[in-house]
Amino acid sequence: MHEFDLVAEVQAMRQQVSDLHSELTRYGLVIWTGGNISGRVPGHDLFVIKPSGVSYDDLTPENMVLCTLDGSVLQGTLGSERSPSSDTAAHAYVYRNMPEVGGVVHTHSTYATAWAARGEEIPCVITGMADEFGGPIPIGPFAIVGDDSIGRGIVATLKTHRSRAVLMKNHGPFTIGINPKDAVKAAVMCEDAARTVEIARQGGALVPLEQAAIDSLYLRYQNVYGQSEDARR
């Protein structure tokens, strides 16, 4: 890829990641400056991530921070005068160890974080969860913010799970996707599932879905839903 193409790819990812942060506020998944989105620059060992401590209203493509996959800021680039998100090391670890991942999102959305505070996975008891996550949304281990410990927990949990969301114990949800938009969708759906199942449990015992039904729903949603007949062939 020529240098011009790389510059264009980085700029496009800056714009996408910056714009997508408005979805976190739109769906009520974050408060104040908490939460973050990152996106891998396609074809390069680089990713773009939200700067630390900047108001959502003040986020722009220019103040997104460009990092290498070891979590270091690429000095001399736009936004490099700012500190990247405190979760940068975690995002970097995910990208290094899950090459299929192109986007990572972290929020402290209320219901999902409540499940994390109990150290409890969200059971798959509604078809929407089966569609989106292919089973329960699992709990990841407790880890301290600042190094790659959270990233290690995310990878260890999701490497053997169909879910694109993990509830890090006593912390909150992290989601992954093939690109940042996909990871944001998973964050929105994770909170929706957490809220719905919590409310359902308050009314009585949950009714589990059979594994065969979960598998069927997941395969249909992932491979057929929303596609035209031509696309399916």
Catalytic residue set: 131, 225
Of 67, 61, 24, 32, whose CA–CA distance to 187 is shortest? 24
Rounded-to-integer distance, Cα 108 and Cα 200, Å? 21
| Residues near 120 by beta carbon (within 8 Å), at least 6 away in sequence | 139
Angle at 186 between CA 180 and CA 192, to 5 degrees: 140
Residue with tokens 């798959």: 124
Of 100, 122, 104, whose CA–CA distance to 113 is shortest? 122
